[in-house]
Amino acid sequence: MTEAAVHVEGQAAQHALHTYVHDAVASGAAHAEGQQHPIKLYLVVWGWLFVLSTCSYLVDYFGIHGHLRWSLILLFMVLKAGLIVAVFMHMAWERLALAYAILLPPVLVLVFVGIMVFESDYTHLLRVIFFASAN
């Protein structure tokens, strides 16, 4: 239907409509065309990702151990993942219906993690009780 109407109109009108259609479909009325953000934003995020990666490498380099190692590694990991998803993948500017549909299901993996922690603790206990002497 739309295609037919477009073909009747002139070349210029076709282009204009296509741009408009593409806007409406692809990226919403909020943006001129697609995701338009200043390049500086990407450079800043890039810089932060470098800093955070360096930090997590230094945790290993200086041999920090125990709970501090764990909390630092997880903190840097979550910050890096958040920056990539929010800015590089543009999730921060997407409609909530999409953001929640994509971001909520992976959170449920944490339940799976919990189950497997109990399971492996149990397996480990059995191995210690019944097989440790064999080693």
Partner 1 sequence: MTETTLATPKAPPGTIPGLRGIAADWASDQRAFKNVSWGKAMMWIFLLSDTFIFSCFLLSYMTARMSTTVPWPNPSEVFALNIGGKHIPLILIAIMTFILISSSGTMAMAVNFGYRRDRVKTAALMLATAAFGATFVGMQAFEWTKLIMEGVRPWGNPWGAAQFGSCFFMITGFHGTHVTIGVIFLIAIARKVWRGDFDVERRGFFTSRKGYYEIVEIMGLYWHFVDLVWVFIFAFFYLW
CA distance 128 to 66: 23
CA distance 133 to 115: 28
CA distance 88 to 46: 9
- Residue 71 binds to partner 1 (criterion: CB under 8 A): no
- Residue 65 binds to partner 1 (criterion: CB under 8 A): no
Report the residue number, 2 or 10, with the smaller CB distance to partner 1. 2
Report the residue number, 10 or 106, with the smaller CB distance to partner 1. 106
Task: Name the CA radius of gyration of the chain, rounded.
Answer: 25
The residue within the footprint of partner 1, chosen from 35, 68, 71, 92 (CB under 8 A), is 35
- Residue 68 binds to partner 1 (criterion: CB under 8 A): no
The residue within the footprint of partner 1, chosen from 7, 8, 105, 111 (CB under 8 A), is 105
- Residue 9 binds to partner 1 (criterion: CB under 8 A): no
- Residue 16 binds to partner 1 (criterion: CB under 8 A): no
What residues contact residue 87 under an 8 Å CB cut-off, 6+ apart?
A: 41, 42, 45
Report the residue number, 10 or 105, with the smaller CB distance to partner 1. 105
Q: Is residue 56 within 8 Å of residue 74, measured between CB atoms? A: no
